[in-house]
Amino acid sequence: MVINGRIEELMEKRMFVNIIQNRCVVIMEGYFEWNEKKEPFSLRPKEGDHFLVAGLYTPDNQVIILTKAATPELAKVHHRMPVILSH
């Protein structure tokens, strides 16, 4: 099962070719990332808000969260992050 998909590889990876049109938005209250020392970091938006994250869904209704290179401030924790949509 694939959980994350690199947005820059969507058109190259065979597993995504048949589902590229199956786009969805995942509403998240937050997410965790682990640094190199395997320490968890909880990442949340401002209080009362949520993240809208780009995703793809498969024919059997699995969801793949799209990821991209982390912003400079998040790169201190992890080198990737979800593709967060503006709202």
Give the domain ranges of the chain. 4-85
**pLDDT (0 to 100) of residue 1:** 66
Q: Amino acid letter at 48?
A: G
Query: In order along the chain (87 residues), what is the average pLDDT of each group of 10 residues?
Result: 87 89 95 91 88 95 95 92 90
For 4-85, give the CATH class.
alpha beta
The conformational region for residue 17 under phi > 0 = left, psi -120 to 50 = alpha, else beta, is alpha
Q: Is 43 helix (H, G, I), strand (E, B) or coil?
A: strand
CA distance 38 to 45: 22
